[in-house]
Amino acid sequence: MIGLSRSKTELLVLRLEQVMMRVESAFERGDYEAARSAVRNQLEVLHSLHDEGEWSEEQIHRYLAERGLVRSIRDHNYQERIGAALRSMH
């Protein structure tokens, strides 16, 4: 499997990408409870990435930005809207 092997860190970053897309999808549906659950999962993945320590936050951000699948990476206002909606649930 030449060229198909991914490091544990890259797999975690791809998992983070999936979870971030789940947050966005739930937000778009107005399912804020599902979005909050996904955010909790996102934090777990971020903690795992921190523990790995192989990639910096900048490397993770750049990798996800280059892939272009996570809207909140490309649009800071969108990220703020998600945060505001979830905070309003308290």
pLDDT of 1-36, one tens digit each? 455 678 999 999 999 999 999 999 999 999 999 999
pLDDT of res. 2: 52
What is the distance between the alpha carbons of residues 74 and 77, in angstroms, rounded to a whole number?
9
- The answer, yes or no, to whether residue 44 has pLDDT greater than 90, is yes
How many CA within 13 A on the CB side of residue 58?
0
pLDDT of res. 90: 61
pLDDT of res. 6: 87
pLDDT of res. 42: 94
Which of 23, 12, 90, 5 is CA-nearest to residue 55? 12
Write down the domain spans for the chain. 8-87
What is the rounded average pLDDT of the residues 34-46?
Answer: 94
pLDDT of res. 4: 65
CA distance from start to end of the chain: 48
pLDDT, tens digit, 9 for 90 and up, residues 49-77: 999 999 999 999 999 999 999 998 888 88
